Structure 1
Amino acid sequence: MIEFAENAPRWRQIADVLRARIEDGTYAPDTRVPSLVQITAEFGVASATAQKALRALREQGWTYTEQGLGSFVARRGADDETPPPGPGGAERGREGSSSGELVEGQGETADTDGGGH
C-alpha cells in the first residue's frame, strides 16, 4: 500500500501511480491494467475509489475498456502529451467501430479501417 497525501483525493493519487506505470512501460500498450479488485487490494481503498481512478485514466485517454475483458493501456504516439483519437483502433484485435463495438453486417475478419490507425 502507498501512503496517501492528505491534499489530493485518493482516486487521483491512484490514477497518478497507474499513469506513471504506463509512462515507464510497466504496463505496455494493449496490455491489461490491474482490475478493480487488484487496485482495491493493492491500495487498500473502496471499490468506488478504484473505479473513479480507472474512469479518470479512461477519460484522459490513457486506457480503454473492453466490456467483459477489463481495462487496457491505450496506444499513444512517442512524446505525445495528448491521447490519440479512439482508444486503440483495429490494433486491439476488434473490428468495426473505434469504440470496439462490432458494426452490424461485418464479419469478424473484416478490415473496416484498413488497420492504419
Structure 2
Amino acid sequence: MNQQECPITFTLEVIGGKWKPYILHFLAARPLRSGELGRLIPQASGKMLTQQLRELERDAVIRRKVYQQVPPKVEYSLTPHGETLMPILDAMCAWGRQNPPAKAGKVRQRQARMGGD
C-alpha cells in the first residue's frame, strides 16, 4: 500500500492541522462562532483559524451556518461525520494524560542510552 492509500495518512490529512484538534474539541461541546473559537484558542491567528475551519468544512467534518441578519452571524458545528472523529480525539487525549511530555522525554533518554529508537 502506498502512502496515499494509507488510512492513517488520510486521517492525519483531515485532523492533522496545528489547531484542528482544538477546534474539534471545542465544537464537540457546542456550536461556536469564529470569534468564540479565537478566544478559546488565542495562540491561533485569525488567518490560520479561518484556514483550518475551511479545511474542516471542505472535508465535511464541520458545518458552517450563516444566519441572514445584520450584522451577519456565522456559527460552526460538528457534522455527524465529524462526530465520528471524537473517539480518535478522546483516545489521543487519554494517551496524552498517561504520557505527559516529561515522561516521554525520559523514555527517549533511556532509549538513546540503550542505543535504540
State the TM-score, normalizing by the size of structure 2. Answer: 0.41
Relative contact order (alpha carbons < 8 A, sep ≥ 6): 1 or 2 greater? 2
Q: As a proportion of its length, which structure holds more helix?
A: 2
Superposition TM-score, scaled by structure 1 size: 0.41
Q: Which of the pair has more CA radius of gyration?
A: 2
